[in-house]
Amino acid sequence: MAIDTTIYDRSSGVSSAILDWLQMLTGAGLILFMWSHMVLVASVNLGAGAMNTLARFFEDTYMAQVGGPLIGATFLLHFILAARKVPFRTEQQSTIWKHTRALHHLDTWLWLVQAFTAMIILIMGSIHMWTVLTDLPITAAKSAARIQGGFWLVFYLILLPMVELHVGIGFYRIGVKWGFIKRSNRKGLKRFENILTGIFILIGLITIIRFMTLSI
Ligand code: HEM
């Protein structure tokens, strides 16, 4: 007797679609967070007082104490959801590598960059969040002391481009996958995404230099 798999197929399709939505929503939430994070941290360029005032506001309203762990949880959930598609096994990795080289398709390369940066961000982002959130309050002087120590300077010089590439490509891929970016506007929006990524890396570097030169 033939087994009717319609119900099974449909339900697994539905749950996969829900998981895809969740992946997109957590990703979009993290993109918004990273943009706000850049503005907040870069406030040090206006003076240590500006950064301290913003940090105190976020701590007095408990947004850092509650929001911080919530961002950490969203970060982990986003990883678990995205990991469904990441090739972890050696044979899967060698297949995707061969296919990517054969296809000559930029968006496939972008997907590989996305998967690679994700692993680095998972480890380094977790270490960073733990370090900052277990050492509240946030002050410009403490951040500067960390970066002037050397270790965190190298750490952020690696994490910054990884995050900005991941955020920029993620933004572009959400647009393509969910239909906001169409064949007609694809080229222009890809250029826009590259420029945005470059601007964020530049602001991040200027901020790191500001921390290096801040007297503590
Ligand atoms: C609630 C969570 C977070 C808080 C409170 C926070 C806070 C901070 C603070 C205070 C700094 C200044 C440097 C320092 O004090 O060491 C910083 C820098 C930085 N953070 Fe975060 N962060 C959070 C989450 C993240 C996440 C999830 C990422 C990326 C995965 C990230 C990436 C970076 C990078 C790359 C820098 C280097 C500075 C720059 O961009 O110029 N942060 N963060």
Q: Which residues line ligand 1 (CB under 6 A)?
A: 37, 41, 64, 68, 71, 75, 121, 125, 128-129, 132-133, 138, 143, 146, 152, 156, 159-160, 163, 204, 207-208
For 145-201, how does the pLDDT look when each residue is reduced to its tens digit (9 = 90+)? Answer: 999 999 999 999 999 999 999 999 999 999 888 888 888 888 888 899 899 999 999
Q: Where are the domains of the chain?
A: 21-213
Amino acid of residue 120: I
CATH fold of 21-213 reads 3 helical TM bundles of succinate and fumarate reductases (1.20.1300)
Please tell me the pTM assigned to this model. 0.89
Q: Which residue's alpha carbon is at the smallest distance from atom 18 of ligand 1?
A: 41
CA of 75, closest atom in ligand 1: 27
For 6-29, how does the pLDDT look when each residue is reduced to its tens digit (9 = 90+)? Answer: 555 555 677 888 999 999 999 999
Close Cβ partners of 132 (under 8 Å, ≥ 6 residues apart): 68, 138
Contact 81, 22 (CB under 8 A): yes
